[in-house]
Structure 1
Amino acid sequence: MKRREFISLLSGAAAGWPLAARGQQSGRVWRIGYLGFGPASNWTREVEALRSGLRDLGYVEGKNILIEFRWAERADQMHDLAAQLASMKVDVIFAPASTHVESARKVTKTIPIVFATHADPVGLGDVASLSRPGGNITGLSMLLTELSVKELEILREALPHARRIGVLWNPTTPSHPTAIKAIKAASEKLGVELVITPAGTVTEIEKAFSTMTRESVRGVLVLGSPIFNAQGPLLAELQLKYRLPAIFAYRPNVDAGGLMSYGADFSDLYRRAASYIDKILKDAKPADLPVEQASKYVLVINLKTAKALGLIIPPTLLARADEVIED
């Protein structure tokens, strides 16, 4: 081959290199760090909702996206797991609620963080405002203060003669102190006395029910928290053991045997969170993506549990239920 022909051939090959590079770039596999609070089996519905949302946007696991799951069994494990994801340099950290975000924000100021069920993102300082988050954190929110007050009202309607109501809260959930203030104010208008009882671990949950029983409460408001959401069967068992009708923020607690739940549709929020991940992977900045509010709230009543507790649910409350479980 003559020197001139060789140089021409080499130049032609070089011209093709940028195209090849672009082809490889378009075939990039994105990595999502999922920071969860286990057991993982309790979150199957929500995980599938997130995956479904991603599939609808063209992402296929193992082909152009990988999800790195990290499940904490206790709240004090969350920070180390968040640090693991940050050290892996994932493209986005999915941290569903305020408890998860609290840990994730401490380990990175640069990796985008997306939440799905944050209770109070502005009040806790995770975003500057709902319309302009301003940092590396954004997502979807449900205002726990308003939600908890509504749950107290519903429980009071179900238990019209109750004068003492227990409130189960978690000191490790950042949004709970604010929610408790709102509940206290509402309780005065409803004419009920609150017995506010903390539980930050699984062991403390049963102790809390025992304490509330000694304090002669007639029902329990269980504030939404990752640990309580993950302990549906245990809470349902304690509800029956201590004969304390309970209302929850998380619908699967009722599927597990809890009496009632009123709260945002978690599956809907997780599915919508996929759009935030998609926008960020397409170079949108979390600081510029407004926080959206939950739009679907569901009241579910378990009549089988009501019967086991010897409780008659008022017809007016049953008529407002979005779903009634009868067997």
Structure 2
Amino acid sequence: MKKVLTLLICGVLLMLTACGSGSEESGTEAKEVVKLGILQHVEHPSLDAAREGFIEALKEAGYEEGKNLEINYHNAQNDMNNNMTIANKLVAEESDLILAIATPSAQAVVQSTKDIPVLFTAITDPVGADLVESLEKPGGNVTGTSDTHPEAIKNTIDSINEFIPDAKKVGIIYNDGEPNSVVNVENAKKALEEIGLEAVETTVSTSSEVKQAAESLVGRADVFYIPKDNTVVSALESVITVANEKKIPTFVGESDSVKRGTFASYGFEYHDLGMTTGKMAVDIIEGKKPSEIPVGFPENLELVINKKAAEKEGITLTEEMMKDATVVGE
């Protein structure tokens, strides 16, 4: 009887141990709540798409808002002072990870913390903006993705020559207070010079100045080129209105702006760029250091043409022009 009792006790202990083990395993599978801070410089479709792609990548990896992910999103409304205030707030709230979207927001966050892991996306020149030490070895607590495909600007500028062969002068609107825009414009001017086109520049400080800037180029420019500039892109409809009224072909720095009503760009999907950044975030959450993750770039580059915009801007599309393009606005 004593032997039977001993066996029963052992059996109960084994069952309890098994239960405890199962509970421990499910506790491991249920990921701890991650506090994610997001600072976005301004709202427009490209930056929104990058943010959405980032969150989607986290969800695919098992991190979902309302379950094990707390998202604290802020829009700086194109204001540098707002960027610094929000960045300091996200740091004070002890975020586990901060995503900064666009250069001004990234600079503000990087200045605010050396301890919290920081990811950036939609950045033209991470090294020039003093966000990382190098693209291959970022160093410190920061890494992310750049939206500068090495061939994007050159290909878009070359397409001006191809699609609008009579064009001589290219009007460029940008905010010279945005470091990313200055870099993009310098690259565009270099590409224009190489094919014998003249750049006609006009600058803005706020989105409310964009329409007037576009109007000031009428009669001085044969086509418009809008770089990846947050101020101008956030008010892109103002440029489109002028382009449509005056039949001025409009080329842009990214394909989301083509979908909004401009004519053409060699671009990529910002949603995909955001997803790449989100996968980096998963690696960091699960133990990898930002300094160990090289800066990423867009992988796919394609010509995007808006058929409806071509009609409104007085461009006659041919099968040859569209054969290698993704056509939208049909």
Q: TM-score, normalised by structure 1?
A: 0.85
1:198 is the counterpart of 2:203: yes
What's the offset of the Cα at 1:210?
1.7
1:325 is the counterpart of 2:328: yes
SS in 2 for 1:279: helix
1:222 is the counterpart of 2:222: no
Of the candidates 46, 50, 54, which is equivalent to residue 58 of structure 2?
54
Deviations 1:36-74 (A, max 9, x none): 134477755443322221111111111111111101222
Q: Which residue of 2 aligns with 1:160?
A: 165
Q: Which residue of 2 aligns with 1:4?
A: none
SS in 2 for 1:300: strand
1:126-145 matches, within 5 Å, as 126-143=131-148
Q: Which residue of 2 aligns with 1:85?
A: 90
Distance 1:253 1:92 in 2: 30
Q: Give the counterpart letter for 2:148 in structure 1.
A: L
Q: Give the counterpart letter for 2:77 in structure 1.
A: E
What's the offset of the Cα at 1:195?
0.5
Instruction: Check the 8 A contact 1:229/1:250 in 2, yes or no.
Output: no
Q: Give the counterpart letter for 1:324 in structure 2.
A: V
Against the structure 1 CA distance between its residues 40 and 258, is the aligned structure 2 distance closer, same or farther, given a 3 Å change threshold?
Answer: closer
Of the candidates 100, 103, 112, which is equivalent to residue 98 of structure 1?
103
Distance 1:121 1:141 in 2: 7
**Greater mean deviation of Cα atoms: 248-257 or 25-34:** 25-34
Q: Which residue of 1 aligns with 2:40?
A: 36
Distance 2:288 2:252 in 1: 36
Q: Give the counterpart letter for 1:149 in structure 2.
A: K
Instruction: Check the 8 A contact 2:50/2:121 in 1, yes or no.
Output: no
1:65 is the counterpart of 2:61: no
Against the structure 1 CA distance between its residues 292 and 43, is the aligned structure 2 distance closer, same or farther, given a 3 Å change threshold?
Answer: closer
Q: Give the counterpart letter for 1:142 in structure 2.
A: D
Residue-pair matches, total: 307
Of the candidates 240, 245, 253, which is equivalent to residue 241 of structure 1?
245
Distance 1:168 1:195 in 2: 9
Instruction: Check the 8 A contact 2:87/2:112 in 1, yes or no.
Output: yes
Instruction: Check the 8 A contact 1:145/1:182 in 2, yes or no.
Output: no
Deviations 1:272-309 (A, max 9, x none): 11111111112211111111221012321111111122
Q: Give the counterpart letter for 1:213 in structure 2.
A: V
The two structures, once aligned, show a CA RMSD in angstroms of 2.5
Q: Which residue of 2 aligns with 1:260?
A: 264
1:210 is the counterpart of 2:215: yes
Distance 2:221 2:255 in 1: 23
Against the structure 1 CA distance between its residues 131 and 43, is the aligned structure 2 distance closer, same or farther, given a 3 Å change threshold?
Answer: closer
Of the candidates 294, 319, 325, which is equivalent to residue 290 of structure 1?
294
Instruction: Check the 8 A contact 2:98/2:118 in 1, yes or no.
Output: yes
Deviations 1:142-199 (A, max 9, x none): 3267432322112232211011101122223212223333222222221111111112
**Greater mean deviation of Cα atoms: 49-58 or 248-257:** 248-257
Instruction: Check the 8 A contact 2:249/2:313 in 1, yes or no.
Output: yes
Q: Which residue of 2 aligns with 1:169?
A: 174
1:264-283 matches, within 5 Å, as 264-283=268-287
Instruction: Check the 8 A contact 2:47/2:270 in 1, yes or no.
Output: no
Q: Which residue of 1 aligns with 2:16?
A: none
**What are the ranges of 5 or more consecutive residues in structure 2 without an aligned counterpart?**
1-19
What's the offset of the Cα at 1:138?
0.5
**Greater mean deviation of Cα atoms: 48-57 or 62-71:** 48-57
Instruction: Check the 8 A contact 2:41/2:102 in 1, yes or no.
Output: no
Distance 2:93 2:217 in 1: 44
Q: Give the counterpart letter for 2:52 in structure 1.
A: E
Instruction: Check the 8 A contact 2:141/2:291 in 1, yes or no.
Output: yes
Against the structure 1 CA distance between its residues 111 and 172, is the aligned structure 2 distance closer, same or farther, given a 3 Å change threshold?
Answer: farther
**What are the ranges of 5 or more consecutive residues in structure 1 without an aligned counterpart?**
1-15
